Amino acid sequence: MPDRAFYVLTYDIANDRRRLKIARLLERYGERVQYSVFEMWLTPEEWQKIHRQLQRLLEESEDSLRVYRLCAACRQRILTLGQGETLEAPGIVVVV
């Protein structure tokens, strides 16, 4: 299984249509943990693909998207107060 890194993506998108397109893109790769916050485990290739698509969708003069790649040690320090859990690492996937 390829190495995956843990990413947290958060956005503030001015336009409803753009926001919906970006949310749908991110939902294909990760889990929405808050309204505008996603957690995902990505291979380098998956990240490059998402990055290219986001660059095409974003309007840089109006929108903001932040990407945090967390190392294993940093990920262990995530503190969650209230409801919700951090997205667990994907297990082994067997394709038959």
- d(C-alpha 69, C-alpha 58), whole Å: 20
pLDDT per residue over 3-54, tens digit each? Answer: 889 999 999 999 999 999 999 999 999 999 999 999 999 999 999 999 999 9
- d(C-alpha 28, C-alpha 64), whole Å: 20
Q: Which of the following CATH numbers is that of domain 5-75: 3.90.1150.10, 2.50.20.10, 3.30.70.240, 3.30.420.40?
A: 3.30.70.240
pLDDT for the residue 70: 87
Q: pTM to 2 decimals?
A: 0.78
pLDDT for the residue 68: 93
- Give start and end residues of each alpha helix (H) in the chain: 16-29, 44-57, 72-75
Please give the structure tokens belonging to residue 5.
């890194």
pLDDT per residue over 41-84, tens digit each? Answer: 999 999 999 999 999 999 999 999 999 998 777 666 666 667 66
Read off φ and ψ for residue 11, nearest 5 degrees: -140, 160
pLDDT for the residue 1: 46
